[in-house]
Amino acid sequence: MIVEAVTAPVLSVQDLWVEARTPNGLRPILEDVSFTLAPRETLCLAGESGSGKSVTSLAIMRLLPKSSLRVARGSIQLSGRDLLSLSEAEMRKVRGGDVAMIFQEPMTSLNPVMTIGAQMSEAIRIHQGVGEQEALARSKDMLDAVHITDPARRLRQYPHELSGGMRQRVMIGMALSCRPKVLIADEPTTALDVRVQAQILRLMRELSADFGTSTILITHDMGVVAEMADRVVMMKTGRIVETSPVDDIFLCPKAAYTRELLSAVPRLGERKGTDGPPVLSAEREPVQKDAAAPVLVVRDLNVSFQQPGSLLGPRPAPVQAVKDVSFSIPAGQTLGLVGESGSGKSTTGKAIANLIPWTGDILVGGRSIRNLSTRELKAVRRKVQMIFQDPYASLDPRMSVGALIAEPLAIHGIGSRREREERVAQVLQQVRLSPDHRTRYPHEFSGGQRQRICIARALILEPELIIADESVAALDVSVRAQVLDLMLELQESLGLAYLFISHDMAIIERMSHAVAVMRYGRIVEIGSRREVFENPREVYTRELMDAVPIPDPTFARSKRRQGLLVSDEAI
Amino acid sequence: MANYLVQRLIQTILILFGIAAITFLLLYLVPADPAVQIAGRSATAQTVANIRRELGLDQPLATQFLRYLGGLIHGDLGRSYAQKTEVMTLIAARIPATITLMVAGIAAELAIGVTLGVIAAVRRNTLLDRIVMIASFTTISAPQFLVALLLLYVFAATLGWFPMSGFGSPAHVVLPALTLGILGAGWYARIVRSTMIDVLNQDYVRTAKAKGVAPLRVVLRHALPNALLPVVAMIGIDIGQFMAGLVVVEAVFGWPGIGQLAWQAIQQVDIPIIMGVTLVSALAIVIGNLLADLIAPFIDPRIRLR
């Protein structure tokens, strides 16, 4: 960090203001943003959604959407050249040549109708002035460098034939193919599974060292910050609140916001030595339910999906999404269901909510829900409610909050109009919203408030079990912590049981009494939270935990030294 | 792939029989009597009855239908009442003219529609975009005969660039093809504009820009192929509309195709010809859709035919 004073920065952003055109005139989106990037340095832009991290990166690339955003003032210097005064043609040479970029969604960031080879060689042809054959040969070398096996074949493949992790490797290879001075990576691992994330982060570290690239890494994940950053720029609502070396951010944060954010991050291993989630309501005795009678028992649950067949010929074999899954949840307790994408955890949740066909047996309150009549099933459904991942998509935008929350009562024919209104007011208070909110519409609420509305809608039927499928995955860290605390409080006061489905090991650790780890549709390990987290039997469980980025830079460094990270075999 | 084609062939045969049945029943419900049409207004009841017997029209409907289907299986579309010729021969003689006009018309509609759609999408919310959209709306709403007459007035009567009507030289095909194409072009301009706007907002277009790809190449190489898939699917569906347009356009321009054949047959209640043209049109629509489905995997490698 002392080096900075001596060497000239590669990139220097000074006093950058970006404005948005709104119906009410110009509104600042970025205010007075200044930072420098030293050679070979990794600088993290960290912050929650709406903090302006991505706008900053697009401003550097001069790729802000012209119709809505513009740079009002400031300067962006790349090795002493002012990027803001370049012509569009000169700027195109900078893009992909001097400054390259990787984006969040590897699934959508590559063109689906162009081969990997065509997309990779294009950048090389543009910036290095070589012919097609030479460009393809260099693309092949880059695929080698990002550890993709059989690169010659990959060049002829299309993006949909590669996994998410491999696509992100292709993106990295493409970005580094022209030896850029600066690499901007915008949430490069957010969409990836945790073990793949660990691999990609390691690859980025390795390559930026090999290529001597300076990196701007944009992330909301403080664990990723701790693993990757040399210095950190903390942003909030378009302003920089703090710029510090990574150790200082975690050990002696200057800004109050940094401290708040760090305290909201659940850390893996935090609940070590305890049996259940933290008790939040100290003054009240938690509701004790008869733990001997499980609210939910699942026996040999199987779910398979029939693939669309053809008119003639044999039907294709069905895909087994869930295989022989068995577990039970005692009243008032939480089973955390954890696994990577495609492990069958969401499908298990949907089967239990009886939203998809299944075989095996599911007992709710000791009663099998197989072969129930529609009316009997309705009574069971009251006891099992579901909260989904995306609070924006799971509320009908044309219904008022009151109508949304009361709808389950109407479906089940419970109560008079007045009684329903009273009940809506009551559950709104339970989720810490005001009863006055019921006349408003979903778009008037933030993501966290919407998820509270979803919880209220689940609560209104007084269920015994709530299936929460990635219910906080779409929320910012600080909001996430609040929603999780609310769910814990409701469990204490109402004696709710949860089937808590998540990919996030730290959140599972915080919320669960018992944990089941799923992989390829099967439960590979199940036990009390303490057993699974403190003494995992399966290598896979240990790999999942080791791959989680820990928000502590000293720990991250020691882990890196010991080489504790997951192996590099292609996932 | 072979399996897929066999499936589609079976589907096609089923569809054609279904259409034959429906058309047959509909024509039976038509209040006009073909025998009266053929005999003329002054004919005696005896003559009409003879003609009816001769054509088999006195048989029960089921017998008539089965006899017709029996013919169909052998590729026999029956004989024209009025022209006393095999329907197959009449249609075969006119098919080349119609196919020429269709190919030219579809080419015109795609060339105009896709170009305007791309321009409107790239320059969206500008004056140019508005003009293209208003123009496309106007052509969609305009009756085809009116477009035909306008084109004739400007390019044939006033400027004299193209012949008024007839068939034979490449110049003859321009105005009828344009008339057919202009209507469809409006549709395609709108479809291409909306899918292009969607595609231009995709992440991979941003990736291309971030690589330093020049704007024209971003549009033509990265975005356009992704926007063409709905257009190809549309062509398959659109052929039905197109066949309907053919009847009008061939009549206005004196184009000797099956549209004109159908037009005359309808006036004479010449049921075998109407049936024949309907089946040929249905076949064209089915083939059009099949071609669209076969082309799709070349445009989008994610599509697999099964």
Predicted confidence at residue A106, as pLDDT, reads 83
Q: CATH says B90-268 is which class?
A: mainly alpha
In a domain, A521, yes or no: yes
Nearest to B7 among A67, A93, A311 (CB): A311
Predicted confidence at residue A362, as pLDDT, reads 94
Domain ranges in chain B?
90-268
Distance from the A151 Cα atom to the nearest Cα atom in chain B, whole angstroms: 19
Alpha-carbon torsion angle A111, A116, A122, A127, nearest 10:
110
* Residue A423 shares a structural domain with residue A527: yes
* Residue A240 shares a structural domain with residue A338: no
The complex scores an ipTM of 0.81
* Residue A227 shares a structural domain with residue A334: no
Predicted confidence at residue A287, as pLDDT, reads 53
If DSSP states are collapsed to H, E and C, what string results for B83-133? CCCEHHHHHHHHHHHHHHHHHHHHHHHHHHHHHHHHHHHHCCCCHHHHHHH
Distance from the A338 Cα atom to the nearest Cα atom in chain B, whole angstroms: 30
Contact B211 A61 (CB under 8 A): no
* Residue A103 shares a structural domain with residue A147: yes
Predicted confidence at residue B110, as pLDDT, reads 92
Contact criterion met (CB below 8 Å) for A402 and A410: no
CA pair distance B255, B94, nearest whole angstrom = 10
Nearest to B225 among A113, A310, A312 (CB): A113
* Residue A229 shares a structural domain with residue A328: no
Cα dihedral sign, A105-A447-A405-A454: positive
Contact A108 B203 (CB under 8 A): yes
Q: Which region holds residue A433: left if phi is over 0, alpha if psi is between -120 and 50, else beta?
A: beta
* Residue A220 shares a structural domain with residue A365: no
Nearest to A126 among B206, B212, B299 (CB): B212
Q: How far does Cα A285 stand from its chain's mean position?
A: 35
Nearest to B212 among A96, A308, A312 (CB): A96
Chain A positions touching B210 (Cβ under 8 A) are 61, 63, 95-96, 100-101, 103
In a domain, A196, yes or no: yes
**Nearest residue in B to A310, CA atom:** B306
Predicted confidence at residue A155, as pLDDT, reads 94
In a domain, A385, yes or no: yes
Contact criterion met (CB below 8 Å) for A11 and A182: yes
Predicted confidence at residue A561, as pLDDT, reads 59
Q: Which CATH number covers residue A161?
A: 3.40.50.300
* Residue A251 shares a structural domain with residue A332: no
- Tell me the three state secondary structure of residue A246: helix
* Residue A370 shares a structural domain with residue A488: yes
**Nearest residue in B to A94, CA atom:** B212
A57-71, A530-544, B2-16, B33-47: the lowest-pLDDT one: B33-47
In a domain, A383, yes or no: yes
Predicted confidence at residue B264, as pLDDT, reads 87
A421 closest CA partner among A435, A432, A431: A435
* Residue A258 shares a structural domain with residue A395: no
In a domain, A565, yes or no: no
CA pair distance B186, B197, nearest whole angstrom = 17
Predicted confidence at residue A4, as pLDDT, reads 46
Contact A311 B10 (CB under 8 A): yes
Confirm or reject contact between A111 and chain B (CB < 8 A).
yes
Contact A105 B11 (CB under 8 A): no
In tens, the pLDDT along B167-197 reads: 777 888 888 889 988 888 998 999 999 999 9
Predicted confidence at residue B170, as pLDDT, reads 80
Contact B207 A110 (CB under 8 A): yes
Helix (H) or strand (E) holding A530: helix A529-534
C-beta neighbour count of A215 within 10 angstroms: 23
Kindly tell me if the per-residue pLDDT of B78 is higher than 90. no
List of chain A residues with pLDDT < 70: 1-6, 281-292, 308-315, 559-571
* Residue A298 shares a structural domain with residue A243: no
How many structural domains are present in chain A? 2
In tens, the pLDDT along A401-428 reads: 999 999 999 988 888 899 999 999 999 9
Q: List residues bridging with A362 in a β-sheet.
A: A298
Nearest to B206 among A103, A126, A127 (CB): A103
Which residues span the domain enclosing A423? 294-305+318-537
In tens, the pLDDT along B193-237 reads: 999 999 999 999 999 999 999 999 999 999 999 998 888 888 887
Q: How many CB pairs under 8 A join A and B?
A: 82
Burial of B18 (0-12, 13-18, 19+ CB in 10 A): exposed
Mean pLDDT of B97-125: 92
Kindly tell me if the per-residue pLDDT of B160 is higher than 90. no
- Residue of A111, A142, A158 to mutate, interface with B, max B Cβ within 10 Å: A111
* Residue A227 shares a structural domain with residue A325: no
Predicted confidence at residue A3, as pLDDT, reads 47
CA pair distance B52, A96, nearest whole angstrom = 80
* Residue A299 shares a structural domain with residue A242: no
Here the tokens at position A480 are 């996430």
